[in-house]
Amino acid sequence: MAKTTPPVKLNETVTLTIDRIRQNGMGLAWANDAKTYPVYIANTMLGEVVDVQIIQVDKLSAYGALKNVLKANPERIDAKRDYLLEAGTAPLVNWAYPAQKKWKQSLVKDNFAAAGLTVQVAEAVTMDEQVPSYYRNKTVVPVKWQGGQLQSGFYQRGTHQLVPMVDYFVNDRRLDEVIVVVRNLLEKLAISAYDPDTGQGAIRYIMVRRGYYSKELMVILVSNEPTLPKQEEVVRAIVSELPDLTSLILNKAPKKDYVQLSADNETLYGKDQIEDTLLGKRFLIGPNSFYQVNPVMTEKLYQTAADLAKLKSTDLVVDAYAGIGTIGMSVADRVKQVIGVEVVPGAVADAQKNLALNGITNATYILKDAPEQFVEWQEAGVQPDVVFVDPPRRGLTPELIEKTASMEPDRVVYVSCNPVTAARDCALFKKVGYEIAGPIVPVDQFPQTAHIETVTVLKKKG
């Protein structure tokens, strides 16, 4: 076989034109006339002509670092936050917000087209702010001793070098303040931090959650070791410095287990959970609870899903991938009954607590894998009017789609955080007798990033 020579060399600087924007927000430019060898470049926009230094090369593609913009997209801005680009936490930060919205709308349409579906896509539902920022109610930040100091921030793409940060731009400002306070206290007490090069050290992450309405504050120290060094001193110092602290948790998650957060939590101070409100309902939130991170947009997301579902007071609703019950409980007062299913034991326990907390009597949550439960419901003659699905990024399984169709609901409301898998799954729903009804509605839960939520309603063909 003839040896293939890449058209670019490591460390050389080349001038390229951005041909498209990839799913992750990075620009793609072709390094050869045949358009067979792509170069991927962060912090670029469609149509821009850029000078790029090649930083990684293989047979099929290369990565480049932006050196100079020769011809800028008219919607490029300078947010003066290049450290966010270095860590990849806000890849669209130099895009004017209207450009972000427009690209995300086109991204959804392109993903569905790639799955063989021609769809209408509505304009994205967004936050009211002109430059949406400081919205996240949860953050997980790595810490590392670097240059003689305990640093917090995010790792530079593909390296073990921590990019120090104090302003994350997308977090609730109080979260950023708390990260710095806790990090400084750990540094003062000389607490070891996990080092990915040596595999040694105690603290891996500082995690913070805060109630948007309640203002209750939870700090979680994620540890590589089963015990926290100088635990009494650490607890005393943190409690003293954070007057709004509601809960301090030690999460024991050794790196060898390859999980960011384990289920092994020890409450060091205060409550095991914090509480917040969503669409008028109260929810208990623990360290491991799945709870959407943009509270303002979560209310808009669930309201959009409920409105598009055209719910009736006689409806039986199934809430699949129910988590702690947020979607089902948010619509419970609009329908006859909600039955939810979730495979994570802790989430079901939380959902049951949340039912009691809100005095909801027409909803039930069951611990089981959804496809299995759907078979049991079908055998029992259960026929829902509406099925809500809100899966993780990997989307639905073909089995779940098949079992959903076998229950013959009138409508399926698909809430997705990944338009690639949403499009794939909607194509499978089409094969089992469901068609997309009305436009797909993007909901921008994550401004400044490449992520977009979508709400798609599928209706049973007559």
What pLDDT sits at residue 129?
84
The three-state secondary structure class of 241 is: helix
Which residue, 216, 73, 81, is CA-closest to 138? 216
Low-confidence ranges of the chain (pLDDT < 50): 1
What pLDDT sits at residue 258?
86
What pLDDT sits at residue 76?
98
pLDDT tens digits, one per residue of 126-161? 998 888 999 999 999 999 999 999 999 999 877 889
For residues 259 and 269, give the distance between their C-alpha atoms in angstroms, rounded to a whole number. Answer: 24
Owner of token pair 């020579």: 5
What pLDDT sits at residue 212?
96
pTM of the model: 0.92
Contacts of 307 (CB under 8 A, 6+ apart): none
DSSP symbol at 305:
H
**417 is a catalytic site residue:** yes
Helix 370-379 and helix 398-406, axial crossing angle in degrees, nearest 10: 20
Q: How many other CB atoms sit within 10 Å of the CB of residue 420?
A: 18
What pLDDT sits at residue 3?
61
Contacts of 257 (CB under 8 A, 6+ apart): none
What pLDDT sits at residue 54?
97
What pLDDT sits at residue 1?
43
pLDDT tens digits, one per residue of 393-421? 999 999 999 999 999 999 999 999 999 99
Catalytic residue among 170, 341, 417, 458: 417
